[in-house]
Amino acid sequence: MAKKPLLEFTDRGIYCAQGKFYIDPWKPVDDAVITHAHADHAYWGHKHYLAHHLSREVLLYRLGEINLQTVEYGEIVHKNGVTVSLFPAGHVIGSAQIRVEYKSEVWVVSGDYKVEDDGISTPFEPVKCHHFISECTFGMPVYQWKPQVQTFNEINSWWRHNLDNGLATVIVGYSLGKAQRILQNLDLFNGMVYTHGVIENTNEALRRNGVLLNPSERITPESSKEEVRKGIIIAPPSSVGTPWMRKFQPYSFGYCSGWMAIRGAKRRRAADRGFVLSDHADWDGLISAIDATGCECVYLTHGYTATFSRYLNEIGFNAREVHTLYGEEEDPSNLPEGEAPSAGEPEKEVLSFGEDLGEVGGADS
């Protein structure tokens, strides 16, 4: 009889039968271990949650009062004889890879990850294992990121150009991860940073968790449009094309996403500028991360699973596609028809200037 795997792919999520817990389940379960606070990995309704300490306040903001246990990286938790520990994924603040060990068999669930140190998330740390469960959001050779310092030099130069030409500057990025990365790398000599309510709610949650972020000011109905236009506005994708954004006209609108590497993506998002900036690993990053684990098998959960698994098998890995409900926080609508991997739901729409939304729906990046 074949040995039962330590982790199984079920209709509720990734399940450890020996430990009686799930990892990033998408249906209500008794015991959930969460890789990070994005909505396609952290669902409401579980009886008990385990996550990294830096995800605590964002999870409480998004999910409400939940039974939440948090740990530090490397801290060991025992679940019915199974050893569970968290290691940095580098995806967003508080993101973690989940290491699961039982009787010397080691599995690692990566969640989402990137290998570049963004200066705000704890950098990705390869974890040796027998089985590695990986995303491949950008698992195509066309996706090759340049160092983020180059991208932020472009963003800061664009902001200065807009100021010199009497244009407001609106830069779009998801409320958890991208927004904080942008905030920490803007040249504040240019002016103040103003934020949409969804983004500022997330910033405030992270600050309550002890994360040091650069100053940002929430846009409210009382905010002076003239003063806001002198700074830079960080907005979520759901604000694009809404009355909330149109209040700042004339403006130049920039979109931050890994999909901006595809020709035509900027045009499809009606953006004046497209900046290639992703919180996921690029093609080379995925391969290097998988190779560093020394794994015997790699399981690909979401993204370009067919293309990437075929390539990995060609170069000597034992790679398999698996079906999950994890989606891309980055908006795949920029891809040519037929090329988009599975996607999560968008955030709620923004209806009016200064509106302060609470919970957001769908996935962020």
Which tens digits make up the pLDDT trace of 344-360? 322 332 222 333 333 23
Write phi, then psi, for 45 (nearest 5 degrees): 115, -5
Residue ranges per structural domain of the chain: 8-143+280-334, 148-275
Please compute the mean of the pLDDT values over residues 275-292 and round it to a whole number: 98
Strand 82-88 versus strand 96-102 pairing type: antiparallel
**Has residue 340 got a pLDDT over 60?**
no
End-to-end CA, the chain: 43
Cα–Cα distance for residue pair 7/24, rounded to 1 Å: 12
Please compute the mean of the pLDDT values over residues 136-162 and round it to a whole number: 97
**Has residue 283 got a pLDDT over 50?**
yes
- How buried is residue 12: exposed, middle or buried, by Cβ count under 10 Å (0-12/13-18/19+)? middle
Looking at residue 310, its pLDDT comes to 97
**Which helix (H) or strand (E) element contains residue 100?**
strand 96-102
**Has residue 163 got a pLDDT over 60?**
yes
Looking at residue 306, its pLDDT comes to 96
How would residue 266 be classed by pLDDT, with cut points 50, 70 and 90? low
Cα–Cα distance for residue pair 135/91, rounded to 1 Å: 11
* Same topology between domain 8-143+280-334 and domain 148-275: no
Give the mean pLDDT of the chain: 89
Entry pTM: 0.90
Looking at residue 12, its pLDDT comes to 97
Looking at residue 328, its pLDDT comes to 52
Do the Cβ atoms of 69 and 50 come closer than 8 Å?
Answer: yes
From the centroid of its chain, how far is CA 110? 12
Looking at residue 13, its pLDDT comes to 96
**CATH: 1.10.1740, 3.30.1330, 3.40.50, 3.20.20. Which one for 148-275?**
3.40.50
**Has residue 54 got a pLDDT over 70?**
yes
Report the CATH architecture of 8-143+280-334.
4-Layer Sandwich (3.60)
Please compute the mean of the pLDDT values over residues 48-62 and round it to a whole number: 98
**Has residue 342 got a pLDDT over 50?**
no
How would residue 6 be classed by pLDDT, with cut points 50, 70 and 90? very high
**Has residue 270 got a pLDDT over 60?**
yes
Higher pLDDT, 355 or 46: 46
Looking at residue 263, its pLDDT comes to 73
Please compute the mean of the pLDDT values over residues 1-9 and round it to a whole number: 87
Looking at residue 1, its pLDDT comes to 61
**Has residue 20 got a pLDDT over 50?**
yes
Looking at residue 361, its pLDDT comes to 32
